Structure 1
Amino acid sequence: MNTPRVLVVDDEADLRELLVITLGRMKLDATAAASLDEGRRLLDGGAFDLCLTDMNLGDGTGLELIRHAAARAPRMPVAVITAYGNMEVATEAMKLGAYDFIAKPVALDRLRQLIEDGLGISRAADDEESGQGEDRLIGQGPAMRSLKEQIRKLARSQAPIYISGESGSGKERVARLIHALGPRREKPFVAVNCGAIPSELMESEFFGHRKGSFTGAVEDRKGLFREADGGTLFLDEVADLPLHMQVKLLRAIQEKTVRPVGESREVAVNLRILCATHRDLGAEMTAGRFRQDLYYRLNVIEAHVPPLRERPEDVPALVEHVLKRLGEAWETSPPAVSDAAMAALADYDFPGNVRELENILERAMTLCEDQRIEPEHLHLPAAGAGGAGETGPVAGRHPQLPLEEYLQEIEKQEILRALDATHWNRTAAAKKLGMTFRSLRYRLKKLELDQDDEADDGSNA
């Protein structure tokens, strides 16, 4: 196996020598350059697995070298060394393609981690096409092709990513794919919904606590940051964080350390931050509900997940994928979808996006007969649902009832009708509903209708 080659570009002789010595101790082949011009010539003349560049190079800047590297060696990871506290420049470097940065004075343990991350990116690029098929996004329309290409590029970086998109559009799936295609894929991926954590427990949940540090702390807790150490922390609905927690989060991201509740010392962490929210984070910042400094620290690069209504050409592939997955979960063959039902799905706006499509298909698979989904099994809300003179399952729908709850209620009532008609003989009810007994049991459990104390053969009737 060839020894990885690393290019060091720095106009300070002492720091340049420190970097070369550190790389040598890591059994790496280091080549040094003292200026921007020399760094460019070395990049043009040879292949490197990694480049470390100072921001100030005497005859130019590290940003210029990053641009040059992006044009001449786009697969080579680049990290920058910047003055302490110069976050704006570091952010600009990552937007141009640098995978990470290190602040002066350089800490050797942090430097070694930076180098290992960069070499991990190089290795990930070599086997980028291997595996991970189950995690890939479904759809080949223009919007999804563009998103997939962006994800491939983002996976190489360690820059914080802000994933925007409507509820149910697949933001966490995008986050998982960025992690799965990157150099940290063998490390933990930890996802947390920021809106689901009580405010008084947030610091403990994020940073951990010592046993006895507060009432109820009956054992030590690592916290989400340390659970994700070495890997990726995904902060979903980050706009729901209260302002006091935003301050602590910003410090943890910038300093790469956390202090557990009740602990006197800080603990170093090395992780990548991905975040998402269905809200307009810029508008939240303008309204004063989200800190400006945290906004610019998290929103180094934005990846936008398009809503399903903007990519109707992907609906057939998504339908096939969801039904196949449901069939595997229920241990049955997936039903066919009639042309009329598929056309109805393609014409529907999906305000709940992919999550709503999954719920619609799960319900349709429960209600369909003869393993064939027809339009009437979809129970798609009609335009102007709730108005006078409507007919069908959406007539009279309460305008304040969430769509998913309403559709679940329809499903529940259909199953209850079949059970009542068969005197709660679940085998007969399953046949009447056109599904397997196993599928019906799954639905009963999900809808909390299971009555395990009653016989399946209707002998209790």
Structure 2
Amino acid sequence: MTTQTALIVDDEPDIRSLLEITLSRMGITTHTAPDLTTARSLLEQHSPQLCLTDMNLPDGNGIDLVHWIQQHAPNTPVAVITAYGNMDTAIESLKAGAFDFVSKPVDLPRLRELVNSALKLSEPGPRDTTEADQPGLLLGESAQIRKLRNQTRKLARSQAPVFVSGESGTGKELVARMIHMQGPRSDGPFVAVNCGAIPSELMESEFFGHKKGSFTGAVESKDGLFRSADGGTLFLDEVADLPLAMQVKLLRAIQEKAVRPVGETREVPVDIRVLSATHKNLTELVQEGSFRQDLFYRINVIELVVPPLRERSEDIPLLARHVLERIAREYECEPATLTQTAIEQLRGYEFPGNVRELENILERAFTLCDDDRIDADDLHLNGGMAPASPTNGEPEATEEPRIPDGNIDLEGYLESIERQAIEKALEATRWNKTAAAKRLGISFRALRYRLKKLGME
């Protein structure tokens, strides 16, 4: 087994000794330097798996060393030791490319967590998920998507908070998931939460957990999202939807790396990386006063912009093929292919719903096309569904469905009508699916798709 090495850079002998003893007890060989000049020389000689540097040094500062390492030893993660409470310096070091930071006086358990995470970067890396069987949101060969993939790989090596911005449907959660899976936390949990979907009165309990009996309905203790993500990544989607009162508590939890469950008197430490996203313009919300500037500053250390699909139309054929292959596997059919006319129509479409809309369009076209070929007419890019007409030349008299009074669960109501029509056709054809599909005026594939979707197989 290869011995792991670390470089400690600090001009205070007592701090160097403390760090050296701590790392030595972890089985790590250490080298020490009192200044930048010595540190650069040792980095060139030993190529350590980790560098810990103080911020204030006799011949410069820690951020100077971060910049130098980015240029000359990019595979060596560097963590900066900052003065207590100096969050501005910590954020500056992360922006410069530091892996992480730790504040003085150094909390040794926190230091050991940081060191273990950093050393995982020199181990055989986790599986690169770029070509994995995901929804295909980051597939493509356009300059924009190549840049985005490179950025996610680079950011995976850091612990800096990343803010993912982009329109709805572009794949912000997948970007966050890829940062997690390609980094040292890949063995830990990835917890995604839609901040806009949690009722405001339950937010504190959902995020931080609660003690049994702490409020009416708290029949048992609950960990909450922060503690569920311990050792991994917490992804805050639609973070702009958080109410101001919760923004204050979230900021404290992120800065202190600890949460206080509802009903508890003590804080519980958590080791998480925070990634966040929204389709809204967070800068404008800060100016309006509906989003706290200090929280924005804390979560937006590095911004990653996911391009809309219309700006990378050359990726559409590859994306479409990937989506159609996934749909075919899911419904156990042969994959459909797109005609050149259909491809050109897709490439000329604006896609306001981005890749999510492309998936919906192709799933609908898959059920409507004939002979495993999707033509332009099957796409219905204006949003309309093709009227299904019976193909046996004998259209049946149809009854006007009774629409219930009052509030309607539209999805459930339409599903029930679809289910009844399919059951009726199957009974009339003695459960011959080919004949039932013909009777319904849809393709056999469309019937199989609907049977699977409705759980009627």
Please give the TM-score of this superposition, normalised by the length of structure 1: 0.87
1:199-348 correspondence runs (5 A): 199-348=200-349
Q: Which amino acid aligns with 2:222?
A: R
Q: Displacement, 1:121?
A: 2.0
Deviations 1:147-187 (A, max 9, x none): 00101100000000000000000000101111110011111
1:376-415 correspondence runs (5 A): 376-381=377-382
Deviations 1:233-266 (A, max 9, x none): 0000000000000000000000000011111111
Q: Displacement, 1:419?
A: 8.4
Deviations 1:216-238 (A, max 9, x none): 11111100001000000000000
Check conservation: 2:99, 2:157, Cα contact below 8 A. Answer: yes
Counterpart CA distance in 1 for 2:214 and 2:154 is 43
Q: Where does residue 459 of structure 1 map in the other structure?
A: none
Residue 44 in structure 1 maps to residue 51 in structure 2: no
1:120-131 correspondence runs (5 A): 120-123=120-123, 126-127=124-125
CA separation of 1:270/1:6 partners in 2, compared to 1, >3 Å: closer, same or farther? same
Residue 434 in structure 1 maps to residue 443 in structure 2: yes
Check conservation: 1:94, 1:300, Cα contact below 8 A. Answer: yes
Check conservation: 2:237, 2:276, Cα contact below 8 A. Answer: yes
Deviations 1:364-409 (A, max 9, x none): 1111122221222211018xx9xxxxx988xxxxxxxxxxx99999
Q: Displacement, 1:435?
A: 3.0
Counterpart CA distance in 2 for 1:290 and 1:78 is 32
Q: Displacement, 1:416?
A: 9.2
CA separation of 1:296/1:97 partners in 2, compared to 1, >3 Å: closer, same or farther? same
Residue 151 in structure 1 maps to residue 152 in structure 2: yes
Q: Where does residue 111 of structure 1 map in the other structure?
A: 111
SS state of the match for residue 127, structure 1? coil
SS state of the match for residue 433, structure 1? coil
Check conservation: 1:211, 1:220, Cα contact below 8 A. Answer: yes
1:2-41 correspondence runs (5 A): 2-41=2-41
SS state of the match for residue 76, structure 2? coil
Counterpart CA distance in 2 for 1:52 and 1:171 is 32
Check conservation: 1:315, 1:346, Cα contact below 8 A. Answer: yes
Q: Which amino acid aligns with 2:75?
A: R
Check conservation: 1:43, 1:72, Cα contact below 8 A. Answer: no
Q: Which runs of 5+ in 2 are unaligned?
A: 388-408
CA separation of 1:197/1:411 partners in 2, compared to 1, >3 Å: closer, same or farther? closer
CA separation of 1:407/1:146 partners in 2, compared to 1, >3 Å: closer, same or farther? farther
Q: Which amino acid aligns with 1:434?
A: S
Check conservation: 1:243, 1:290, Cα contact below 8 A. Answer: yes
Q: Displacement, 1:106?
A: 0.6
Counterpart CA distance in 1 for 2:412 and 2:300 is 36
Q: Displacement, 1:410?
A: 11
Q: Displacement, 1:42?
A: 1.3
Counterpart CA distance in 2 for 1:140 and 1:289 is 38
The CA RMSD over aligned residues, in Å, is 2.7
Residue 99 in structure 1 maps to residue 99 in structure 2: yes
CA separation of 1:334/1:348 partners in 2, compared to 1, >3 Å: closer, same or farther? same
Q: Displacement, 1:91?
A: 0.7
SS state of the match for residue 351, structure 1? coil
Q: Where does residue 398 of structure 1 map in the other structure?
A: none
Counterpart CA distance in 2 for 1:98 and 1:128 is 21
Counterpart CA distance in 2 for 1:416 and 1:343 is 38
CA separation of 1:234/1:377 partners in 2, compared to 1, >3 Å: closer, same or farther? same
Check conservation: 1:132, 1:180, Cα contact below 8 A. Answer: no
Q: Displacement, 1:423?
A: 8.5
CA separation of 1:376/1:416 partners in 2, compared to 1, >3 Å: closer, same or farther? farther
Deviations 1:15-42 (A, max 9, x none): 1110000011001001111112211221
Check conservation: 2:6, 2:52, Cα contact below 8 A. Answer: yes
Q: Displacement, 1:421?
A: 8.3
Counterpart CA distance in 2 for 1:100 and 1:273 is 13
Please give the TM-score of this superposition, normalised by the length of structure 2: 0.87
Counterpart CA distance in 2 for 1:58 and 1:410 is 73
CA separation of 1:264/1:128 partners in 2, compared to 1, >3 Å: closer, same or farther? closer
Equivalent residues, number: 427
CA separation of 1:417/1:316 partners in 2, compared to 1, >3 Å: closer, same or farther? farther
Q: Which amino acid aligns with 1:173?
A: L
SS state of the match for residue 303, structure 1? strand
Counterpart CA distance in 1 for 2:146 and 2:191 is 26
Counterpart CA distance in 2 for 1:416 and 1:376 is 28
Q: Which runs of 5+ in 1 are unaligned?
A: 386-390, 394-404, 453-461
Q: Where does residue 185 of structure 2 map in the other structure?
A: 184
Identity %: 56
Greater mean deviation of Cα atoms: 199-208 or 31-40: 31-40
Q: Displacement, 1:420?
A: 8.3
Q: Where does residue 169 of structure 1 map in the other structure?
A: 170
SS state of the match for residue 311, structure 1? helix
Q: Where does residue 396 of structure 1 map in the other structure?
A: none
Counterpart CA distance in 2 for 1:227 and 1:64 is 36
Q: Displacement, 1:117?
A: 1.1
Q: Displacement, 1:292?
A: 0.4
1:63-74 correspondence runs (5 A): 63-74=63-74
CA separation of 1:144/1:194 partners in 2, compared to 1, >3 Å: closer, same or farther? same
Deviations 1:119-150 (A, max 9, x none): 11222xx4366667415721111100000010
Q: Where does residue 400 of structure 1 map in the other structure?
A: none
Q: Displacement, 1:336?
A: 1.6
SS state of the match for residue 167, structure 1? coil
Deviations 1:401-452 (A, max 9, x none): xxxx99999999999999888887672343442233432202445xxxx6x9
SS state of the match for residue 219, structure 1? coil
Q: Which amino acid aligns with 2:250?
A: L
